[in-house]
A and B are shown apart, each in its own frame.
Chain A
Amino acid sequence: MTFEIDRRNLLQMLGLAAVSGSVLSQATIAFAADTDNVTIGWPSDVPSWDPNLRFVPDAQPLFKMVFDQPLDQSPDLKLIANLITKWELKPDGLSMPFEIRSDVKFHNGDPMTMEDFKYTFVDRIKSGLKLDIANSWRTLTDIEILSPTSGVMKFSAPTPTAPQWLAFLGSYLVPKKYVESVGPEEFAKKPVGTGPYKLVDYQMNSRIVLERNDDYFGTKPKIKRVTIDIIKDPSARTAAIQSGQVDLTVNIPVREAERLGKTEGLTAEINPFTRLILLQMRNDMGFTDKAVRLAAHHAIDKAALSKAFYGGAAVPLSIPATPGTPGYLPDYKFAYDPELSKKLLADAGYTADKPATFKLAATNGQFPSDFDIARALVQMWQKVGLKVELEQIEYSKYFELNRGGKLPEATLYSFDNATGDPEIFSGYLMNPKMPFGAWKGQEIGDKILKLFVEPVYEKRIAGYKAVAQEAVETGANIPILQSVQTLVRKKSLNYVKYGNAWVLGSTMSWS
């Protein structure tokens, strides 16, 4: 008897759920069909709505909708004017005069002034707040205000990538008057920017709702309201786009993207962007011998890896830079040649009885198919006679292991650089004073350190090209692939594709 009653209750509950759910789903579909709205399924949240606080590459498109950067990037990653209209890094790299727009207003109606620039990039950093932008602007000593719309950035050391950093991680303009009046904590709760959208609702790790800023100085967005659902699980993002709960989503498994691309009403893209997949190399232990490092590189069939794990869309790389960026060498190819690998090993005295051995570390889930790629590498190396032991590490442990000199000979790694500038590719990866690279060879390190203060653009780029090629040819670095972003959207939703994987609601429209 008890069972009968429970079963009835259960059926009633399920019935209620189904009816109410169906009402809701109709409401959702009606909402999605509205051309004034778009819902995006995004894989991660902002760490805080204070955009200067933390460097999180995936959060940049979210910040860019609410805040503006002094300079911007075009879809093909060229630096373009934004809040700053003119800029010129002086030949010594120690100062940069610039001019700003006079027609920009913050969301609260306050006009943007040179004081806001000085506050964001100098005073706020000096106030002792722990802001990540303090690290990118460590050489900036002052911004001298010459007029309401012109000023000069002054540096303590040549800062050749100052313009690039004005359009990179964390460099967003914040309103001095508002932040000082409400304090940093309140600012992070109720952010005010100059961006194309205003934040109207935010629930951490769940949803961001943005409404068009009708006073925006730039091109007005076509979509009035952008809702960003934070969906961290790739399967749930796949389900959300398939069921129509979101209109666009990114970073779902390649196979799922290919499947959904064939679904009626949806279209899928696999877009290469400015992220490298590479092997961080040591110059000691099993990799002391250059021949072993080069043999390891020649044994990697990068095209096969791309085909197996990224549907062939990930571009095989011979240099630690992505195609189309200033440091890329389009004509340089490092050959896939297993026979040459075997020869190099034989010449160096390695045999089947006495094989060259080393360890490879890889993350599992830090970027798509990372551990699978590592397993494939081990197999490729085995074919040429390299004996490799694979170990899994957490990304958060990488820096600790590297700092303590405990990384194995090779580590599979991915590295983002939305600017495309070679300083942030080869420079960061091989600067011995930075925590990224495992390579501690002084010869390459010294060349990189010189390029960090080289103010002449052409000379700097040529220097990076040369040092990147040298790094590959000495086995200091093994670039593997250019990473890809999968994107699935409703066919009637248009967006502008950026070379650095930015997906911006402000560029979207319905057709």
Chain B
Amino acid sequence: MRMFATIAKLLVKRVLTAIPILLIVSALLFCILRILPVDPAAMSLPPNATVQEVEAMRTEMGLNLPLYQQYGIWLNKLFHGDIGRSIHFRQDVTSLIGSTLPATIELAVIAMGVATVFGLAGGLFLFYVRGTRAEAVMDFLSILLLSLPEFLWSLFLLLIFGVFFEVLPFTGRLSPGFERPVVTGFLLLDSLITGNISTFLNALEHMILPCLALGIALSPSLMRVLRSSLLDAYQDDYIQQARLRGLSEKRILIRHGLKNAILPTLSLMGVQFGFLFGGTLLVEIIYSYPGMGNLMVDAIRNADLPIIQGAGLTYCIAVLVISIVVDSLYLILNPKLRVR
């Protein structure tokens, strides 16, 4: 009960803190985008528009008003649930984000799962081989993995598994001919809800390469943090005491070492999950994955400020939600924090 009360208190506190953060981020986003020398009015008109028509559009879009007034109008609309209308697609930004966000969340969550599996397994292995010759090799490999960004992994995996071995698909979310159920927008979930197992498996196959690319790129830092946390934890007295109590090394590692060492790794995972959202941009383009990253790239290319603002805010909200989840997990895993 006490744990739930503490978590509830934390949630209230974090939600209250999130409001000014969102306001600051929205103001920053708005100002930065308006300062950039791009002309959304010209971009919203066809190429044969005259200078006068561009000017008229600037007035209609309110781009000739002082910046603070433009922000005030935008914020007022935002409070009424109107993020704006896309310049390029001429659709509500809310519906565009709503139709692409589930794909990105699905991608990011599974990629985070991949990163967690690789990161934890690798971290444990690095710890396991400490003091041996294999440690130097593994150390080198982990640094090598760390130095490759996700888009390079994307291209590398695509060439290996898509072109060379031709064993995995690398375009889109589903192969042609498969039924695409729409319930929640989360394809994996929707195919399960509708009992469409073949679609589920096909969608999963399409996610293997992008998720591996994102996951592998994130895993080395998790490995290294877990290894160093384990090394720190094993310096503590309770490990020695556990050994004196005759517990097996495996039990000591799982029940004592890992439980304490996992907390910094968890923090890092929270931070990385935020980065993962950003990292989907290029990966979605390479794998033709119809998520928010893909939409964002279109928006940047077309100076579609309403989408960039909407997507930027969505990323910010996602990061805040993730940090609340991570903090809650911290409270669950670490009783000392609950006392405080």
Q: Interface of A with B (CB < 8 Å)?
A: 1-3, 6-7, 9-10, 17-18, 20-22, 24-25, 27-28, 31, 37, 39, 41, 45, 47-48, 53-55, 130, 132, 135-136, 169-170, 185, 188, 201, 203-207, 209, 227, 229-233, 235-236, 239-240, 242-246, 394-397, 399-401, 403, 406, 428, 433-436
Quick check: A2 and B253 within 8 Å, CB to CB? yes
- Measured between beta carbons, the chain B residues less than 8 angstroms from A21 are 161, 167-169, 205, 208
Quick check: A47 and B89 within 8 Å, CB to CB? yes
Check B232 for interface membership: any CB of A closer than 8 A: no
Quick check: A20 and B201 within 8 Å, CB to CB? yes
Quick check: A24 and B169 within 8 Å, CB to CB? yes
Quick check: A2 and B124 within 8 Å, CB to CB? yes
Q: How far is the CB of B328 from chain A (nearest CB, A)?
A: 25
Q: How far is the CB of A371 from chain B (nearest CB, A)?
A: 16
Q: Which of A28, A39, A230, A399 contacts B288 (CB 8 A)?
A: A230
Quick check: A6 and B121 within 8 Å, CB to CB? yes
Tell me the complex Cα distance, A10–B199, Å: 23
Interface pairs (16), CB distance under 8 Å: A2-B250, A10-B121, A21-B205, A25-B169, A54-B46, A130-B90, A136-B48, A207-B174, A229-B172, A236-B171, A236-B288, A395-B301, A397-B303, A400-B37, A433-B51, A435-B42
Q: Which of A47, A207, A236 contacts B158 (CB 8 A)?
A: A236
Quick check: B158 and A239 within 8 Å, CB to CB? yes
Known: A9-B117, A205-B100, A428-B47. 17 other contacts (CB 8 A): A6-B117, A17-B168, A21-B167, A24-B175, A47-B88, A132-B45, A135-B53, A231-B288, A235-B155, A236-B170, A239-B158, A239-B170, A243-B170, A245-B169, A394-B38, A401-B37, A433-B52
- Measured between beta carbons, the chain A residues less than 8 angstroms from B168 are 17, 21, 24-25
Tell me the complex Cα distance, A285–B70, Å: 35
Quick check: B162 and A243 within 8 Å, CB to CB? yes
Tell me the complex Cα distance, A9–B90, Å: 47
- Measured between beta carbons, the chain B residues less than 8 angstroms from A406 are 37
Tell me the complex Cα distance, A460–B133, Å: 81
Segment of B238-246, B259-267, B289-297 engaged in the interface with chain A: B289-297
Quick check: B202 and A24 within 8 Å, CB to CB? yes
Q: Which of B54, B120, B163, B208 contacts A399 (CB 8 A)?
A: B54
- Measured between beta carbons, the chain B residues less than 8 angstroms from A45 are 298
Q: Which of A48, A132, A236, A399 contacts B91 (CB 8 A)?
A: A48
Check B285 for interface membership: any CB of A closer than 8 A: yes
Quick check: B173 and A203 within 8 Å, CB to CB? yes
Quick check: A435 and B51 within 8 Å, CB to CB? yes
Quick check: B205 and A48 within 8 Å, CB to CB? no
Tell me the complex Cα distance, A260–B180, Å: 33
- Measured between beta carbons, the chain B residues less than 8 angstroms from A394 are 38, 303
A44, closest chain B residue (CB): B298
Quick check: A3 and B121 within 8 Å, CB to CB? yes
Number of A-B pairs, beta carbon distance below 8 Å = 193
Quick check: B99 and A399 within 8 Å, CB to CB? no
Q: Interface of B with A (CB < 8 Å)?
A: 36-39, 42-54, 88-91, 99-100, 117-118, 120-121, 124-125, 128, 155, 158-159, 161-163, 165-177, 180, 201-202, 204-205, 208, 250, 253-254, 285-290, 294-295, 297-298, 301-303
Quick check: B285 and A207 within 8 Å, CB to CB? no
- Measured between beta carbons, the chain B residues less than 8 angstroms from A396 are 38-39, 43, 301-303
- Measured between beta carbons, the chain B residues less than 8 angstroms from A169 are 46
A46, closest chain B residue (CB): B89
Quick check: A3 and B37 within 8 Å, CB to CB? no
Quick check: B53 and A205 within 8 Å, CB to CB? no
Q: From known contacts A6-B121, A24-B175, A54-B90, infer whether A243 and B201 are also in contact, taking CB-CB under 8 Å.
A: no
Tell me the complex Cα distance, A227–B100, Å: 21
Tell me the complex Cα distance, A291–B90, Å: 46
Quick check: A18 and B288 within 8 Å, CB to CB? no
Quick check: B54 and A435 within 8 Å, CB to CB? yes
Q: From known contacts A20-B201, A135-B46, A397-B38, infer whether A203 and B51 are also in contact, taking CB-CB under 8 Å.
A: no
Quick check: A28 and B169 within 8 Å, CB to CB? yes
A19, closest chain B residue (CB): B167
Quick check: A28 and B170 within 8 Å, CB to CB? no
Tell me the complex Cα distance, A418–B99, Å: 33
Q: From known contacts A47-B89, A207-B176, A239-B159, infer whether A403 and B290 are also in contact, taking CB-CB under 8 Å.
A: no
A3, closest chain B residue (CB): B125
Tell me the complex Cα distance, A453–B172, Å: 48
Quick check: B170 and A31 within 8 Å, CB to CB? no
Q: From known contacts A17-B208, A396-B38, infer whether A205 and B290 are also in contact, taking CB-CB under 8 Å.
A: yes
Quick check: A28 and B175 within 8 Å, CB to CB? yes
- Measured between beta carbons, the chain A residues less than 8 angstroms from B166 are 25, 243-244
Quick check: B49 and A201 within 8 Å, CB to CB? no
Quick check: B124 and A435 within 8 Å, CB to CB? no
Quick check: B172 and A135 within 8 Å, CB to CB? no
- Measured between beta carbons, the chain B residues less than 8 angstroms from A239 are 158-159, 162-163, 170
A207, closest chain B residue (CB): B172
Tell me the complex Cα distance, A399–B55, Å: 12
Quick check: B289 and A53 within 8 Å, CB to CB? no
Q: Which of A22, A130, A132, A229 contacts B171 (CB 8 A)?
A: A229
Tell me the complex Cα distance, A294–B128, Å: 72
Quick check: A2 and B254 within 8 Å, CB to CB? yes
Tell me the complex Cα distance, A54–B205, Å: 35
B176, closest chain A residue (CB): A227
Q: How far is the CB of B26 from chain A (nearest CB, A)?
A: 22
Q: How far is the CB of B306 from chain A (nearest CB, A)?
A: 14
Q: From known contacts A207-B172, A243-B163, infer whether A20 and B205 are also in contact, taking CB-CB under 8 Å.
A: yes
Tell me the complex Cα distance, A37–B176, Å: 11
Q: From known contacts A31-B177, A169-B46, A206-B172, infer whether A48 and B158 are also in contact, taking CB-CB under 8 Å.
A: no
- Measured between beta carbons, the chain A residues less than 8 angstroms from B176 are 31, 37, 39, 207, 209, 227
- Measured between beta carbons, the chain A residues less than 8 angstroms from B159 are 239
B90, closest chain A residue (CB): A53
Quick check: A206 and B170 within 8 Å, CB to CB? no
Q: How far is the CB of B134 from chain A (nearest CB, A)?
A: 12
- Measured between beta carbons, the chain B residues less than 8 angstroms from A206 are 171-173, 288-290
Q: From known contacts A2-B253, A203-B172, A399-B43, infer whether A48 and B90 are also in contact, taking CB-CB under 8 Å.
A: yes
Which 5 A-B pairs give the minimum distances between C-beta atoms?
Answer: A400-B39, A399-B42, A21-B167, A396-B303, A6-B121
Quick check: A434 and B51 within 8 Å, CB to CB? yes
Tell me the complex Cα distance, A165–B86, Å: 26
Tell me the complex Cα distance, A48–B302, Å: 14
Quick check: A428 and B290 within 8 Å, CB to CB? no
- Measured between beta carbons, the chain A residues less than 8 angstroms from B180 are 201, 203
- Measured between beta carbons, the chain B residues less than 8 angstroms from A201 are 180
Tell me the complex Cα distance, A233–B158, Å: 12
Q: How far is the CB of B93 from chain A (nearest CB, A)?
A: 14
Tell me the complex Cα distance, A349–B174, Å: 66
Tell me the complex Cα distance, A199–B329, Å: 47
Quick check: B48 and A231 within 8 Å, CB to CB? no
Quick check: A132 and B51 within 8 Å, CB to CB? no
